[in-house]
Structure formats: structure tokens, C-alpha cells
Amino acid sequence: MTQTIKSPARPLPPEVARRTTQRAGGWRLARRLVSHGLLLTGSVAMLIPLVWMLSTSLKKSGQEWIFPPVWIPDPIWWRNYLEATDALPVPFYVYVVNTFVITFNATLGTVLTSSLAAFAFARLRFPARNFMFLLVISTMMLPGAVTLIPRFLIFRYLGWLDTFLPLIIPYWFGGTAFSIFLLRQFFMNLPRELDEAARMDGASSLQIYWQIILPLAGPALASVTIFQVWGHWNEFLDPLIYINSMEKYTIALALRTFQNIRSQRVNYLMAVSLLQVLPVLLLFFSAQKYFIRGVQLSGLSGR
């Protein structure tokens, strides 16, 4: 937990710092206590739902209906996790594998094709480049719901319904506008001399992209990758539209089914929900820096 969101807390301006130290120390202490109090209260409010989820998932059936609620289950009933997933019509690992296959392929497509486009927008000169980039930006603002119905009809026409293809193939065509934008910003900041020197040595654009720019873009690629993995892992609407067979369900869809068949077993429901949350938390804690960077860069487009 110590390796948390990094960014130095802003130091007080020297003038203010001096003045505050001159003032009564009690006032300063009170302010700090109030700030900590507020932050702590907020933290508790933020954590309680997650704790409640975990607590419910570990309650032996029957205990979840005790009111006022018991916070620490007695006994701690780990077996819920096994029994809950047994209650699903298809072994849980199938959903995990399905979600993984979709996430992996869609993310790979996004990283490859959006970095290609981002490279062109950042480092190649071609006619209508700015206009094209404007198109990319404008699709970021487009409500996805507008294309919902025709996209469905296109994939139906192609015979792709009830396959993973509608969830993967679009990402092999430029990925998402946001990832193009994020990568372009990063590529723009790499020194131009790299390309020029390579071109003097007779390197092609593809070689510059693959051998020079991509290896330097690790952090940006990591941000895009993590963002995509997170997005596809959570995605609900698209799988809901395109996947019908239970054995092709993603975790999100399986949870939905589980809600229907097991709504009376809330301890099981919380257990399977946590199974969707846990990998996300793992991902976050193993790559926090890139996660935060991705979110922050998304905000910079507003500047």
C-alpha cells in the first residue's frame, strides 16, 4: 500500500509557510486535524461498500439476512466461492477463459493499430493529416449508442452473431480514438532527430515505427494496454448484444445470469462479483503508475 499514487504533494508556497508558522501553532494543528478527519471519513465511506461485499461473500447462508448486519462473519465461510461457481450452468473457468480471449485479442489489436495511426499523426507528414486527426478526436465525443443498431445489423449480415468477432475485430481497425490520442501525444514528445537520423541511414517508416519509436514508448503503451484490459474485462453492453450461448459468456454476462437464477443467495452473488473485481484490483496494484497516467492523460485533452 505504500507504493501508491505517486505525485508529490504540493508544498506550501514559502511565503505562506512562513506566515503560517508565525501564527499560533494550535490553529495549524487544528486545520491538519480537520483535514485528516475529513479524509479519513471519506476513506471509510469509500471502503465500506467493498468491505461489505467481502463480508457478505464470506457469510454462511442465512447469516446474510441478519439485521442489523454482522460485519465479521462467523464462521468465515470460504466455501461460498466454490459453491457459488458450482451453481452456474457452465464451469466458471470457461467464463474466465472467454473474457481473457476477448480481452487479449481486442487489446492486442488496439495497441498495434492505434499506435500505427498515432505514429502517422505524430511523425509523418501527409495531406489532410490534421483533418483526419480532427475526425479521430470527434469520434471521442460521439455517443456509442448511435451506432448500436446498424453495427448489430452489419455483424448479423456477416454471420458473426454469437461469436467473439464483433467484440474483437473492430479493435483491429484503429482501436479506440482515445488510445490513438494518448499515443500521439506521447510520440510527439520524442526527439525528432531520432527519425531524421534513421532516415539518413535509409530506414523506412515502418522500421522507424517498429525499431525506434515503439521501444521508446513503453510507458504510453503500458497505459493504453492497461486501460484496454480494464475496459474489455468490464464490458457488458457489447457481449450482451452479440453473445447468446451460455458457454460463450463473459464474466460480466455470467454475473447477470447468476443474478437471475440466484437472486436469493446474496452471499453467492457477492462472491462471484468479487471474482470479477479481484483481477481488476490486482491489475491496478501491479501497474498503478500506468493506470493513473492513463486517466490523467485523458484529462489533458481538455487543456
Partner 1 sequence: MTAITKPSRRWRRGPRWREAVDGWLFILPWLLGFLFFTAGPMLASAVMSFLEWEILTPPTWVGLANFHQLMVDPLFGLVLYNTAFYTFLGVPLYLLAALVMALLLSLPLRGIPIYRTIYFLPSLTPAVANALLWVWIFSPDFGLANYFLRLVGLPPQKWLFDIHLAKPALILMGLWGVGSQMIIFLAGLQGIPQVLYEAASIDGANEWRRFWRITLPMLSPTIFFNLVIGVIGSFQVFTTAYIATQGGPQNATLFYVLYLWRNGFDYFKMGYASALAWVLLVIVLVLTLIQFRLARRLVYYEVEEPA
Q: Give CA torsion, residues 42, 46, 48, 53, to 10 deg.
A: 180
Rank residues 104 and 284 by Cβ distance to partner 1 and give the closer one. 284
Tell me, residue by residue from 83 to 122, as one string, x for binding to partner 1 by CB under 8 A and - for no binding. Answer: ------------------------------xx-xx-xxx-
Strand, coil or helix: what is 196?
helix
Please state, as a whole number, how many other Cβ atoms lie within 10 Å of the Cβ of residue 38: 10
Residues 17-76 that bind partner 1 (CB under 8 A): 19, 32, 35-36, 38-39, 42-43, 46-50, 52-53, 56, 64-69
**Closest alpha carbon to 111 in 205, 209, 189:** 209
Q: How far is the CB of 302 from partner 1 (least distance, A)?
A: 2
Using CB under 8 A as the binding criterion, the count of chain residues that bind partner 1 stands at 108
Amino acid at 88: L
Q: What is the DSSP-derived secondary structure letter of residue 88?
A: S
Q: What is the DSSP-derived secondary structure letter of residue 245?
A: S
Residues 121-150 that bind partner 1 (CB under 8 A): 121, 124-127, 129, 132, 135-136, 139, 141-150
List alpha helices for 158-264, DSSP H: 165-168, 177-188, 193-200, 205-207, 214-216, 218-234, 237-242, 251-261
234 touches partner 1 (CB under 8 A)? yes
Q: Which of 76, 97, 137, 237 binds partner 1 (CB under 8 A)?
A: 237
Rank residues 69 and 218 by Cβ distance to partner 1 and give the closer one. 69
Choose one: 21-29, 186-194, 216-224, 273-281; the region binding partner 1 (CB under 8 A): 273-281
